[in-house]
A and B are shown apart, each in its own frame.
Chain A
């Protein structure tokens, strides 16, 4: 049976890692954080979100917080997720890879401006 692929890291998984870099979040929190950090360009649906979460959990890049299961106002339990140190390393590696790409793009004069 094939293992979920994280190499290359899918955009959705990378965004989830970045979302969790700041704080521990539950599913909807991750979705909102991703939407916010991509300025609304990426709105993760439940299927993609939990599929990516499952892949990241299997690769031990994130972990589920057993001690923090909050109940919302309607009594539904929410599972929180936290970035592991391996996840943080991978996120950094991916960000560096993208930064390298940006440098190349700028050197080739594909990109203009001062960003990054």
Chain B
């Protein structure tokens, strides 16, 4: 067997080398395998051979000199020019077979790596428990699909083997239907749906054994067609409620509890030296739960001479909270463009806010590559309105929000359904992120922003 492997490897050498020394090389291999016995010696032998291959193969091709063949010189004496040509080296069936096997292996390995969920860093495939913090869905509108009646047994999910083919097909087909029906750009929606169904037909999904991995794989397949980061297939190990009624659902109440426990993700609110207000906000939480805390936070920095919003770890959230906080920063209603919502009334700030002294104070927004969705909405609009200086790194680039559709007890799809017209002359932050005014590493952003604020205040 090992000899056969080595003879295959020998086929990697140019034909000229193989013809001259192929048999000798094989003989040398036989001699060594005969003389070098024992596990470690065999390991050493193979290490030698592979190193030798890596070293000598490029050299052989570098020094490759094709043989000249052609008419004999006798024919050229009668005045008719004769031509020499390089001997062509047709592909042998063995080489074609070897190439096919290696290509298939590479494709299989690549697919396995693609499907490996552990390292996947995309925003998709969020489990339902994280919706509030991570993605910017509008109020969850959970739609029963035609397949909702097929309740899978719980034993078949949760990372345990047993996601059967029929169930997988139902999930894929439902996800495709939902995306095709609801995605904001129907043509792209159709393409994504077709891609999902084609992958299913081709058996690309067959190797998936768990619900979570299927959600990741389907999200990848969708995003290969359209990189919209708000398009997600989600998986929840806990059964999803069938008929949620907005705020009354268990998930929503859990989310609210969590928000309260985390002080509505206002991680830090303080006034730093030189009377600069500093707010570290890690999401834009639900206004209906967090209005009071947000108002308290803004009140506590109301007397500051400048204000820094630290959104470096902000994963987005409720656009209404974006509007609430932005309202403090203007002395008249200002239009805040939101690509997720076509409505106009809600996109105007409620400025001026009674008692706010922040409407004319310098504003700095700290960003990082993790600044996501609603946080980008906040940064983008304040930048476009020239109301804030953005300091830090380019943001993540997640622009469209999705309406969440329930597929069955465990799966759902987030689909962006609206797209508003941008009043600003430049593209919004979809896929490209918000470019900072002052580009610095996220770690240094606070120091730099403080420096900028200090300089500005000193000039006054």
Contacts and interface: CB of A to CB of B under 8 A. Distances in A.
Contact of B55 (A2, A47, A74, A76): A47
B459 interface: no
Contacts of B23: 76
Contacts of B62: 2
Contact of A76 (B27, B52, B56): B27
Contacts, number: 70
Given A43-B48, A46-B49, A47-B60, A78 B27 contact: yes
Contacts of A72: 27
A45 B31 contact: no
Interface string A67-84: 000001010101100000
A79 to B, nearest CB: 6
B61 to A, nearest CB: 11
A70 to B, nearest CB: 12
A51 B56 contact: yes
Interface stretch (B13-21, B71-79, B94-102): B13-21
B119 to A, nearest CB: 36
B63 A47 contact: no
Nearest to A51: B56
A48 B51 CA distance: 10
B258 interface: no
B113 interface: no
Report the interface size class on chain B: 20 to 34
Contacts of B13: 47
A92 interface: no
A85 interface: no
B144 interface: no
A79 B24 contact: yes
Contact of A50 (B21, B31, B63): B21
Contact of B52 (A46, A54, A74, A79): A46
A4 B63 contact: yes
**Closest 6 CB pairs between A and B?**
A45-B52, A47-B56, A46-B25, A50-B21, A28-B31, A1-B65
10 contacts: A27-B28, A28-B28, A44-B52, A46-B10, A46-B28, A47-B52, A47-B53, A47-B56, A47-B57, A78-B24
